[in-house]
A and B are shown apart, each in its own frame.
Chain A
Amino acid sequence: MEHPKIKHVLSRASQVSEKARLLAGKYGYRPFMVQRYLEILGEEETLRLLEANEKPLPVTLRCNSYLVDCRDLKERLERKGFRLEPLREFSPHGFIVRRAPHPAGATHEYLQGYYYLQGPVSMSIVHAMDLDVDGPLLDMAAAPGGKATQILQLTGDSRLLVAVEKSKRRIKALRSNLQRMRFKNYIIYRLDSRRLPFNNAFASVLLDAPSTGEGIIRKDPRRKTSRSPEDLLEIHRLQVEMLYRALDYVRPGGSVLYATCSLGPEEGELVIDTILRLREDVTIDPISLPASEPPTEYFGVKLDSRVSLCRRFWPHRQGYEGFFACKVRRVER
């Protein structure tokens, strides 16, 4: 499964202009990536994006309000020499670490499960998910557990979360984080989440899909060059398949929150457009996130107008990770 125009889009992205080649050389990217930014943002804003991606992401944490009062945690860490500032725009439990006498992932409070180190945008995504619903919840690509632990935090560990992860290495971190943060209402399965035998079983689903990670170049600059257009095509196909299956797992009337930490429309807008073409039983819900409206035209390909209800985070606009988020509802017939 893929978007009917994905190959056209990738072919256009590979026809690199002199401007894209120059910028790619200057900032160390593969030229096709910069060509895509120029297509979406224009020259001036592309420059701002490339500059923003040069700055490392600040350390940010999400307080585990299930275990600790967040004001108490702030005071406790500040007594140890940390300085924290709230990140209220992204999550009521988020803090930016302005000063750290030692790594924030090595405090006794961290070991007690009182917080999780998580990017601001990443911690905002779960707030768009339908959690006040009756029935089990599903996280389809759950490791290392940032969003899985946040789902259980926001539900007060009162809803069952089925957390699925394929990777043998990453699933250990998922288990460790769920245990460290002291949640109990979960089942972890290790398998490819496209193969789950649970159709119509879940009230709400989160699919934070495997991606190129183009949105976290500030955290891992290797991602400027680690993926080719062919990789992008493979990842796009995987994402479409996973979202298609996610919509089988959710009960009619329920929703799937689809997210990727990527800047590329191939992994966001085109995935949603494909699903809207493939399935008649879905629609898009508006979501309230502090982000931008996504593009609905890309290299001459016009997308379904409902794609504009999704949201896109840009490092140079919102200030942190690049992300795409969209709430897809399976309508009752």
Chain B
Amino acid sequence: MLRPASGKEIEIIKNIIYGELQLRGVDLTSDLLVLDVPGGSHIDIFKPPPSVKRFLSLNLSVGLTPYSLGLYIGFIARRGVFVPSLPLAHELAPYCASGNLARCVYLPPGLEAKFLYGKKIILKDNISDGLVLVLNTLREALGWAVVESLNNKYGGQKRLLRPVRDLGWYLRRGG
């Protein structure tokens, strides 16, 4: 079933995009649609462009549920956790350079390759724990990751970049 996102679902997404990621000055949460498969493990969130909205509204009566559409924002797991998508990573990448998105981490070529294999990376950046958009030095999105602080055996701390979803997933999922 395709339906508009509920207030609660929009709040969950806003908490991540505007709260945790600190995106400013960009509207990403209006007109969101939810694809809700009964019994499914999650719900998919989409932002339709105007022509998609128009086609759907003209054909409401036909009773067909789309499989996918527009900009795929991510999914909300049944336990209420929002996981951002790779298309959203591409959509937001320009906002790292413009300063609208605060939580961005840039990886040099060697670490880029490691990240795209879904491997964890030790970070030199001094960025606080939480979700980040990962880019390469050409400012191209590579995916999403979580920064975690780990205490090392010498009493210091190191920061670990743990991939949430990286572009290599397109190959690993096989098509």
Binding site for B on A (CB under 8 A): 105-106, 108, 111-113, 136, 144, 159-160, 162, 171-173, 175-176, 178-180, 182, 184-191, 197-198, 201
Contacts and interface: CB of A to CB of B under 8 A. Distances in A.
Contact of A160 (B51, B62, B167, B173): B51
Contacts of A191: 64
B60 to A, nearest CB: 12
Q: Which of A105, A171, A176 has the most CB of B within 10 A?
A: A176
Contacts of A182: 87, 90
B150 interface: no
Interface of B: 49, 51-52, 54-56, 59, 62-64, 66-72, 85-87, 90, 112-113, 116, 136, 140, 167-168, 170-171, 173, 175
A191 B63 CA distance: 12
Given A111-B170, A112-B140, A176-B175, A184 B49 contact: yes
Contact of B175 (A160, A173, A201): A173
Contacts of A186: 52, 68-70
10 contacts: A108-B136, A136-B51, A159-B51, A160-B52, A185-B49, A185-B51, A185-B52, A187-B66, A187-B70, A188-B69
Given A176-B170, A190-B67, A144 B175 contact: yes
Contacts of B171: 105-106, 111
A131 to B, nearest CB: 15
Given A111-B170, A136-B55, A188 B67 contact: yes
Given A160-B55, A179-B72, 6 more contacts: A111-B168, A172-B175, A184-B70, A185-B51, A187-B70, A188-B67
A201 B51 CA distance: 14
Contacts of A106: 171
A106 B173 CA distance: 13
